[in-house]
Amino acid sequence: MTTSDNPCGFIEIAHTADWAVKIWAPDFTLLLAEAARAMYALQMTRVEGQSGQTAVEISVAGEDEESWLVGFLSELIYWQDTRGIMVEDLAFRYDGKVIRALGRAVPIAERAKEIKAVTYSGLEVRVTEQGVEAVVVFDV
């Protein structure tokens, strides 16, 4: 899936009851950003233009890539459900225990579908020759 023109990406994969996506990127922080993009795309999230943007910081403690990935996406779900915002233009910092994501909060105009939670079902972050990949299952 990875090419020089496409170092990051995602593709929806078949799942019996929930939604699943395969995500890939050159490194873990880019994988986090791509996972966010995939989650918003699956929900068909539409934002209210670019007005009202504010900076936001999300901190996720964890012990491994899987816990950071689930924690990060869970935080994004919390922000969209409680504050009606999508976080984009993400930049990450990592200190060995906590990942901090800095981004812009943009008001959500509409979500055609809703994700309830991110699961650990079959979750494994793998290092490949091209970078990092994961399959994430969302509870809908």
Kindly report, residue by residue over 69-99, the tens digit of the pLDDT. 999 999 999 999 999 999 999 999 988 899 9
As a whole number, the mean pLDDT across the chain is 91
Overall average pLDDT of the 24-29 stretch = 96
User: What is residue 108's predicted lDDT score, i.e. its pLDDT?
Assistant: 94
- Tell me the CATH architecture of domain 9-139: 3-Layer(bab) Sandwich (3.55)
Q: Please state the domain extents for the chain.
A: 9-139
> What's the pTM?
0.90
Q: Do 61 and 97 touch, CB atoms closer than 8 A? A: yes
- Alpha-carbon distances, residue 103 vs 15, 58, 64, 119 (angstroms): 30, 8, 22, 24
